[in-house]
Amino acid sequence: MHKPSLIPDFAYDPPDEPLRILHEDAAIIVVDKPAGLLTVPGKLENRQDCLITRLQAARWDALTVHRLDCDTSGVIIFARTKQAQGFLGQEFEQRRAQKTYVARLKGRLERGSGTVDLPLGSDWEYRPRQKVDHVHGRPAVTDWQVIDQTDTETRVRLKPHTGRSHQLRVHMLALGHPILGDQIYAPETRDQHARLMLHAETLALHHPQTGEWMSFSAPVPF
């Protein structure tokens, strides 16, 4: 079976732009993350600049709850207390948190909506690449719906029911329509798209102090 070529180490050049805080109170901070910025520090020395360190410089008590891929933009939530961090962690772990994404895909989807239900696991030989793995993979489910399309690309709204690494990227690839600008799964599209065309549009969950159901959104930048 043909294996993909080794994934080249990407040049990390994070954007120099101010924080975009969507909401903050005594328990949480919600931010619109720009594409190209790591959520947490990378392992290599030149990858310490990231969203959490920038946020902590302005809000010292910010604590990580979940992550977005470096090249993905959009809504991400941070806690301000250990109690809130634990509560929000359970919102994600128990799948109470609801997320939607918008993506631009290569090619034209024939159907208007559908569900991808394919287990995913690490492609250890080509990390950080993930793959469909029916033997050792963990369950992963994504709903998709077409928003708009042309002859050459399709804009979709994606709703993941699980939170596997690279889930949306691998599931769209499995449909035969990878996300444009994906340097791992569709490197041939990178010349025309300087970033991954994937944006976390909305996040809804219960507030850790009040229990109120809250929804946050960030405008799609592409």
Active site residue 69: yes
- Write out the two tokens for 43: 């392992």
Cβ 38 vs Cβ 54: under 8 Å: no
Question: Residue 143's Cα: distance from chain center in Å?
Answer: 15
Q: Which residues pair with 98 in a beta bridge?
A: 204
Nearest to 145 by CA among 181, 176, 182, 115: 115
Which of 9, 16, 69, 117 is flagged as catalytic? 69
45: three-class secondary structure by DSSP = helix
- Using alpha carbons, list the distances in angstroms from residue 36 to 70, 130, 195: 5, 20, 8
Residues belonging to the active site: 69
